[in-house]
């Protein structure tokens, strides 16, 4: 049983229709469920840990299909130090 890659990663900014904006603050967990016709388990999405912008709300884990990704932070790029225009 193969899960598709989760669309959310640590640090992503997300939105929820009822609860507002949040930041993914952990690794998503794959969820499986029964498939009665095949008598086996099948992928059912992901649970995603988030921390809300509204600090009055406790951190939560939500189903990935209830979240919309707003942005993903840019990865940090390692730069090389140069001396006189040449790589060190």
Q: What is the pLDDT of residue 81?
A: 56
| Domain contains 81 | no
Number of domains in the chain: 1
Summarised one tens digit per residue, pLDDT across range 20-69 is 999 999 999 988 888 777 777 777 889 999 999 999 999 999 999 999 99
| Domain contains 13 | yes
| Domain contains 47 | yes
Q: What is the pLDDT of residue 82?
A: 56
Range of the domain at 60: 1-72
| Domain contains 39 | yes
| Domain contains 61 | yes
| Domain contains 79 | no
Name the band, by pLDDT with cuts 50, 70 and 90, for residue 79.
low
d(CA 28, CA 11): 12
User: E-assigned strands of 28-75?
Assistant: 29-35, 40-52, 60-63, 68-71
CATH at 41: 2.30.30
């Amino acid at each position: 049983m193969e899960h598709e890659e989760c669309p959310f990663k640590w640090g992503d900014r997300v939105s929820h229709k009822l609860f507002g904006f949040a930041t993914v603050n952990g690794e998503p967990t794959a969820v499986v469920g029964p498939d009665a016709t095949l008598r086996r388990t099948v992928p059912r999405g992901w649970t995603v840990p988030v921390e809300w912008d509204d600090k009055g709300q406790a951190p939560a884990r939500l189903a990935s299909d209830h979240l919309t990704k707003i942005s993903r932070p840019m990865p940090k790029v390692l730069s090389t130090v140069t001396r006189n225009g040449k790589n060190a």
